[in-house]
């Protein structure tokens, strides 16, 4: 992957590129390539959201859950999901949706600990 510095040093050997940035990732130096995974995923989410938005508007939907789906990322793309307790978050007012898990299974359960253990014992399953 080409960095911004590499691009600036080698401008004539590089095709057009796009830089994706967010408010939370100000120091990123990743550039996309000819077939950018990040850009494809962004386009897919935008297309899906636009289709859902058109459907909701044309059908006069008032169900709040369907409108919330515009802002949610599908969880089936991830191997693990960590549920956080709202009362333990430093900024709970920034939480868009409540913690819920409708698919998958719990693999570990327990109380938070200050001791870090990077493994799971058989009793955790």
* pLDDT digits 0-9 by tens, 41-80: 778 888 888 888 888 888 887 777 777 777 777 666 677 7
Between 107 and 84, the higher pLDDT residue: 84
Between 71 and 92, the higher pLDDT residue: 92
pTM greater than the 0.85 cutoff: no
Helices and strands, number each (H, E), in the chain? 3, 0
Question: Averaged over 83-88, what is the pLDDT?
Answer: 78
* CA 44 – CA 38 distance, rounded (Å): 10
∠ CA 35-37-43, nearest 5°, is 95
pLDDT for 82:
75
Q: Where are the alpha helices (DSSP H) in 16-63?
A: 37-58
pLDDT for 87:
80
Token pair 């100000």 in the structure block, residue: 26
Q: Which two tokens stand for residue 13?
A: 């050997």
């Amino acid at each position: 992957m080409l960095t911004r510095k590499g691009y600036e040093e080698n401008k004539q050997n590089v095709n057009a590129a796009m830089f994706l940035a967010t408010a939370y990732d100000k120091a990123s130096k990743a550039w996309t390539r000819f077939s950018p995974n990040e850009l494809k995923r962004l386009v897919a989410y935008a297309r899906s959201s636009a289709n859902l938005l058109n459907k909701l508007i044309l059908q006069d939907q008032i169900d709040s859950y369907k409108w919330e789906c515009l802002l949610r990322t599908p969880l089936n793309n991830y191997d693990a999901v960590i549920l956080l307790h709202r009362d333990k978050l430093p900024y709970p007012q920034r939480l868009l949706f409540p913690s819920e898990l409708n698919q998958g299974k719990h693999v570990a359960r327990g109380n938070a600990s200050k001791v870090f253990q990077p493994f799971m014992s058989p009793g955790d399953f």
